[in-house]
Structure 1
Amino acid sequence: MFLARRLLAAAGTLLAVSIVLFAGSEVLPGDAAAASLGTNATAEQTAAVRAELGLDRPLAVRYAEWVGNAVRGDLGDSIVERAPVTEIVAIPLADTALLTVLAALATIVLATAIGLAAGLRPGSRLDRVLSSGALVAVSVPQFVIAGLLVLLFSTVLGWFPAVSLIPAGGAPLDRPEILVLPVAALTIFAAAWASRLIRAIVIDADTAPNVEAARLAGLPESVVIRRHLLPATVGPAAQAFAWLASALFGGTAVVEQIFNYPGLSETLVSAVRHHDTPVLEGVGLLLAAIIIGSLVVADLVGLLANPKLRTA
């Protein structure tokens, strides 16, 4: 029942997002038909293209057709490139997914280490230093973090390229060094935020009755942490990381633009510039589906990792 309710809620949320997305793309300044013809097109030519593309039909009719096709995996055709939207976004989506996965893995490792180190010694000098550093990292905008990384590791040290250039016909993994700074920019902010949450989870778990009983029984601290404290943090931490993965996927746009990384943000910017509404709507719907799906997974992870919730 829980899964059915969550899936139903997710479907309703995605439907609401699709309505807002479709309506929002329709009120953008400019005209897709005029943009595809250029500035010298006449009114008659523009009207003919609008009729050919079906843009002269009522909004509700076009939305119903779009949603129906999207359910079957057809996001329509690009007005500018005259190619299926699924083909246009396939490679950028894979590149953005690669960036997100690498950042998520690095975030999990770094945030867990910092959160455990701070949470196991609350109030200590180490806790104050780590917590202050995390607070500063969360407070600094991502574009500032990215700029500082470029300044230090590209301009001053020359270790990594400032721009993520990919060979023609290649992929980001063909030049792994171009991934380092974008992944670092995403990881610093995400790990700082997540480490604060992990710290709070560890502190809360450290006062649980079973942990205190284990210490009173004389068990070594390493055994208490490994057998009693860490298992209690798995559920909340896993749920937090699952939610964070969705936030990372939706938050890569700034970093991709700064490093000129060939992900979905470049496709979105190009679609907005050329008023290519099918691409804009398709990318937006894909991102919404991925983020909402990640949140459903986060809820399921939290349920499976918490015995009390499973019993309920």
Structure 2
Amino acid sequence: MLPNSPVRRLVAQRVAQGILLLFAVSVLIFGGTQILPGDVAQSILGQSATPEALANLRQELGLNDPAYLRYFHWLGGILTGHLGTALTTRQEITATLMPRLWNTLFLAFWAAVVSVPLAIILGLLAVRYRNGPLDKAISGFALASTSLPEFFLGYLLILFFAVKLQWFPSISTVYHGLPFVERLKAIVLPATALVFVVLAHMMRMTRAAILNVMQSAYIETAELKGLSALDIVRKHALPNAIAPIINVVVLNLAYLVVGVVVIEVIFVYPGMGQYLVDHVVKRDVPVVQAVGLIFAAVYIGLNIVADVAAILANPRLRHPK
């Protein structure tokens, strides 16, 4: 149960806004795939296809129907759990997509397990030793990590740890039935690249949020009581800075799931990103639409979680006068 009426109202508003936004995104995804250049039927049958064969395939795929009818037919399938049929393989998209989604979530989960606690710890250390050598070293690392694009980090990891040291494989091959330890070994490099991508942002936001709270009057009171700097940060500053920290952590978790496309392509990881790129090349529109909508749903859903967490972490909303 949510604590009170204002909180329930705000949470309901965020959820309703998220649903409306997802509907709008579905329209954009469908419309964007429809205006892509080229002919889907021609792409499937090849350049040697006869006009009769092309016409028959367009009729079979429903390409001759008005766009709005095709959209509502697609949306109705989505609402009933049917993502459509892949044009290139004629297989149900749901059946082929779910293992890929699981692989992406597995990779994102382990990247988050490492990056989230590490970012908070580094942020706390930077505040504890503010303007000191450790703070400057952490800030310098964060700046360097933010400046390097993720594909460059991925290739650097492959060069040093896969090619030169040969500690980990350069191609992250995972499949059903692979032992858990082997699966973890296969994702070490792509997960490390993702950790570098999101770690700096979370750490810098943690540091900024806590430093903002450290200027409050109750922090001065705690200092006058003789509490150590670590206790002040841990017991007073961190709990009151938790809302923006939760926001940035959840948004980076959304990026871990949605922004893995480049990393998965570099490491040939069989996840959603690699699946999307493969079918963009083949111009398999139903697959592109399904993957795009799932990415949008995950991102919007985690944004809603971040908003709700920030609302629940606000004592002025939880205990109104």
Say if 2:150 is the partner of 1:118.
no
DSSP 3-state at the match of 2:69 = helix
Identity over aligned residues, as a percent? 37
Deviation at 1:305, TM superposition (A): 1.4
Look up the equivalent residue of 1:152 and give its one-letter code.
Answer: F
Contact 1:77 1:85 in 2 (8 A): yes
Describe the superposition over 1:76-110 as per-residue Cα deviations: whole angstroms up to 9, x where unpaired: 11112212211121011110111111112211011
1:27 pairs with 2:32? no
Residue of 209, 214, 217 corresponding to 2:222? 214
Cα distance in 2, alignment partners of residues 192 and 243 from structure 1? 13
- Equivalent position of 1:297 in the other structure: 305
- The aligned residue for residue 204 of structure 1 is 212
Deviation at 1:47, TM superposition (A): 0.8
The 1-side partners of 2:71 and 2:319 are apart by 42
* Aligned match for 1:261, one of 269, 274, 277: 269
Alignment of 1:55-204 (within 5 A): 55-166=63-174, 169-171=176-178, 173=180, 174-204=182-212
Contact 1:202 1:233 in 2 (8 A): yes
Structure 2: unaligned runs, 5 residues or longer: 1-8
What residue number does 1:3 align with?
Answer: 11
The answer for the alignment partner of 1:310 in structure 2 is 318
Distance 1:148 1:126, change over 3 A: same
Residue 292 of structure 2 is matched in structure 1 by 284
Work out the CA distance in 2 between the residues paired with 1:209 and 1:278: 57
Normalized against structure 1, the TM-score is what?
A: 0.95
SS in 1 for 2:241: helix
Contact 1:119-1:203 within 8 A present in 2 as well: yes
1:92·1:264 contact (CA, 8 Å) conserved in 2? yes
Query: Residue 4 of structure 2 corresponds to which residue in structure 1?
Result: none
Q: Tell me how far apart the structure 1 counterparts of residues 173 and 233 of structure 2 sit (CA, whole Å).
A: 45
Q: CA deviation at 1:172?
A: 8.1
Q: How far 1:39 sits from its partner (Å)?
A: 3.1
- Cα pair 2:119 2:203 within 8 Å, conserved: yes
Aligned residues: 311
Q: Matches of 2:266 and 2:15 in 1, distance apart?
A: 36
Between the aligned partners of 1:309 and 1:180, the Cα distance in structure 2 is 42
Q: Does 1:251 align with 2:286?
A: no
Q: Does residue 52 of structure 1 match 2:56?
A: no
Rounded Cα–Cα distance in structure 1 between residues aligned with 2:179 and 2:47: 36
- State the AA in 2 paired with 1:294: L
Q: Is the 8 A contact 1:186 1:255 kept in 2?
A: yes
The one-letter code matched in structure 2 to 1:278 is P
- Cα separation, partners in 2 of 1:172 and 1:138, compared to 1, 3 Å: farther
Unaligned runs of 5+ in 1: none
Counterpart for residue 42 of structure 1: 50
SS at match of 2:235: helix
Paired AA for residue 94 in structure 2: T
Over 3 Å counting, the alpha-carbon distance change for 1:32 and 1:171 in structure 2 is: farther
Question: Please, what is the CA RMSD of the aligned residues?
Answer: 1.6
Contact 2:124 2:233 in 1 (8 A): no
In 1: Cα distance, 2:284 partner to 2:234 partner: 54
- Rounded to whole Å, the distance in 2 between the matches of 1:15 and 1:287 is 13
Runs of 4+ more than 4 Å apart: none
1:176 is paired with a residue of what secondary structure?
helix
